[in-house]
Amino acid sequence: MKDVELRLILELIKDSRRSDRELAKAIGVSQPTVSRVRLRLEREGMIEYSASPNLAKLGFEILAVVLGRRNYQKRQEINIQKAKNYARDHPNILFGAPGNGLGYDRISVSVHRNFSDYSRFMQELQTEWTGIMDVDSFLINLKGDDVVQPMSFKQLAEWLKNERKPE
């Protein structure tokens, strides 16, 4: 990835509503360069746009990290298309992927309005994947006063920007 592309992406992570002129000033290139690079990055799927909402203020009380363990004794394959369809049909699932750690090989992150909503979600999940996968979860209270760092990519952008600086 070229330096100008990375700098543009980092600036867009911090605030994607800025004009190409403002972005050009921030990264030290011309406005036509920013427009051209941004358009190419959009076409290539390198950048997409969405807001980073405050989930608690949107009425979500729970962020659930669901860990799954494939049941190898049953020797059933996990149908990736079925998993993609399941995630599509549950828009509260923010992320889902295979992985490895703590004895688990699947993970998903979802948001829930309240514990009842979470409980219904887990019952449906367990019913849908019975015999194929065992699941556990870790719940985060989004409305707690002790949230140390709200979910945001702005801090990540600053870290990536500073990581690149020569020492």
Q: What SS3 class is residue 4?
A: helix
Residue 137 identity (one-letter amino acid): S
Q: Are residues 157 and 127 in the same domain?
A: no
**Segments forming the whole domain that contains residue 86:** 62-141
Domain count, the chain: 2
Over residues 9-34, the pLDDT tens digits come to 999 998 999 999 999 999 999 999 99
Phi, psi of 5 (to 5 degrees): -65, -45
The CATH number that applies at residue 117 is: 3.30.70.920
For residue 119, pLDDT beyond 60: yes
**Entry pTM:** 0.78
Q: Which CATH number characterizes residue 16's domain?
A: 1.10.10.10
Within a domain: residue 85? yes
In a domain, 134, yes or no: yes
Distance from C-alpha of 86 to C-alpha of 90, rounded to nearest angstrom: 6
